[in-house]
Amino acid sequence: MTDPRATTLVFLPCLSGAPWTPRQLAPYRHRPVRTPALPDGVDDVERYADHVAASLADLDRPGTAGDPGGYVLVGDSFGANVALALAVRRPSGLRGLVLSGGFAANPVTSPLRRRALQALGRMRGPLYRGVALRAHARTLASPHDFAGEVGWSTADSRRLFLDHTPAASYGARLAAAFAADYTGRLARVRVPTLVLTPAHDVLIGPDAARILREGIPDAREVVLPRTGHMFRFSHPDTYGRAVEEFLAERVDPVAAAAPGPDREAAGRATR
């Protein structure tokens, strides 16, 4: 049974738009959670942030010492960009921010790679299913994916998009990610922030996390060894322990009464 005064965790999905699964939410079973899906066909991060804000209107209120309420945004990859877009608005209900595998601006700096991704975003039908999603799945992969609590493969990544992401939405979200840039507004985030980083991430790269860590005033970075960009899928327990420790220390004392995170088992490194 959850404490009605507890802070709600709001989990924002990756580019696929698929809500977080019960397995991924298992580490937070003692907490109130929400898992909004992303709307289809939207090519503007601000409009995604509008959608999330509207879904949280009932939680958007100032808290008190005895009743903190409010919510923590937990955004993964593209969802981290959406969470950041909402956080810079300083909503009154926001108590904390978790950005995993995220970025303030498009991390793809190579013009050649950018053009290749844009071409993938324009593919439809068999080209989308057979070419774009296979290529995208390869960029998401790491050597550590299959050794996690939930073995994960490039085939699983492709299936995730096949099941949840129409081609038009895939292209629209790529366009949104390319256009959004919150680098100059990071100082507007005024809540404790966890930058959760996988050790191996070809898609995002290390500079994106550094920019977030250095630009957000109250940010700390935690690097999870032996994980890749899909770590919320492959390592949900390791991921969850890092989030719960952050919440217990920086955001919500309710977490301290829950089963404590195992630092050694999480096997994490902190910068």
Are the beta carbons of 152 and 159 closer than 8 angstroms?
Answer: no
Per-residue pLDDT tens over the stretch 126-159: 999 999 999 999 999 999 999 999 999 999 999 9
Q: Given the structure tokens 């507004």, which residue do they identify? A: 185
Whether 139 is covered by a domain: the verdict is no
What confidence tier does 252 reach under pLDDT thresholds 50, 70, 90?
confident
Strand ordering across the sheet containing 71-76: 33-34, 8-12, 71-76, 94-100, 193-200, 219-228, 269-270
Whether 99 is covered by a domain: the verdict is yes
What pTM value is reported for the model? Answer: 0.89
Sign, CA dihedral 104-263-15-88, equals: negative
pLDDT, residue 257, reads 43
Work out the end-to-end distance of the chain between its first and last CA atoms, rounded to an integer number of angstroms: 35
Per-residue pLDDT tens over the stretch 86-125: 999 999 999 999 999 999 998 887 888 888 888 999 999 9
Count of the separate structural domains present in the chain: 1
Whether 150 is covered by a domain: the verdict is no
Task: Report the CATH number at residue 64.
Answer: 3.40.50.1820
Domain that holds residue 73: 8-108+175-270
Among 15-24, 199-208, 231-240, the minimum mean pLDDT is found in 199-208
Does residue 240 have a pLDDT over 70? yes
Whether 117 is covered by a domain: the verdict is no
Are the beta carbons of 200 and 144 closer than 8 angstroms?
Answer: yes
What confidence tier does 37 reach under pLDDT thresholds 50, 70, 90?
confident
pLDDT, residue 248, reads 92
- Distance between CA 132 and CA 12 in Å, rounded? 23
Whether 122 is covered by a domain: the verdict is no
Whether 20 is covered by a domain: the verdict is yes
The tokens describing 138, both together, are 């390869």
3-state secondary structure 166-194: CHHHHHHHHHHHHHCECHHHHHHCCCCEE
Whether 142 is covered by a domain: the verdict is no
Whether 154 is covered by a domain: the verdict is no
Helix pair 45-55, 167-179: axis angle to 10 deg: 100
What confidence tier does 64 reach under pLDDT thresholds 50, 70, 90?
low
Name residue 22's amino acid. Answer: P
